Copies of this chain bind each other. A is one copy, B any other.
Amino acid sequence: MPDKDYHHGDLRAALVLAALERLEAGGAAALSLRGIARDCGVSAMAPYRHFADKDALLDAVAGHGFQELARCLEEADATAGGREALAAQGAAYVAFACRHPALFRLMFMAPRRSSDGSAAYAILARRAAALAGPGQSAGDLTLAAWSLVHGLAALILDRRVPLEPGEVDGVARRITLAFARMTEGPTVG
């Protein structure tokens, strides 16, 4: 094994990981490119060999987050079927946001450029669309379901709704489930 002092095995991955750690520890304010580089034991300019600029690194971090979110949704979806599966996904979505608030904000709440979240969206969409009753638009239903859980997560994160940590899961599950029941009610037109 060579010296490893100059060339860093896999700096790109190390940078993303360090950024994630900083994010969990100190929030978005702690995300300085120089700091991240320092954490990796590397100079301030080294990241530019792997990312065009700071935003590009942040995009990679967000991408990591989306993968993890998709994993969580998939896992939750497998625990039940039908409407209950949708409720489980809703609760998992909110739980993810609460577990990684700064990451969640980074993923969504910045004028990002790319950071594809379609994988996570697809998992939720599959469940939601299957619930569409006659005369209900599957597209609208999916969008509504996503909006509901996303908005709930965002409001909780911003302390806009006074909820104890212990209540969050129950509320998310209840609301999502009630929403899912909407599909058996009277339909439009």
Contacts and interface: CB of A to CB of B under 8 A. Distances in A.
A184 B181 CA distance: 11
Interface in A63-105: 101-102, 105
A171 interface: yes
A161 interface: yes
Interface stretch (A1-9, A14-22, A34-42, A143-151): A143-151
What is the copy number of this chain in the assembly? 2
A28 B154 contact: no
Interface in A108-126: 108-112, 117, 121
A114 to B, nearest CB: 10
Contacts of A181: 182, 185-186, 188
A102 B109 CA distance: 10
A60 to B, nearest CB: 17
Interface residues of A, number: 40
A146 B140 contact: no
Given A27-B111, A150-B155, A181-B186, 15 more contacts: A108-B109, A108-B158, A109-B109, A112-B158, A136-B178, A140-B171, A143-B152, A146-B151, A146-B155, A147-B148, A147-B149, A147-B175, A148-B151, A151-B151, A178-B188
Across chains A and B, which 3 residue pairs bring their CB atoms closest together, nearest first? Answer: A185-B185, A151-B151, A109-B109
26 contacts: A27-B111, A105-B110, A109-B109, A109-B110, A109-B154, A109-B158, A140-B171, A140-B174, A143-B152, A143-B175, A144-B175, A147-B147, A147-B148, A147-B149, A147-B151, A147-B155, A147-B175, A149-B151, A150-B151, A151-B154, A178-B182, A178-B188, A179-B182, A181-B182, A181-B188, A185-B186
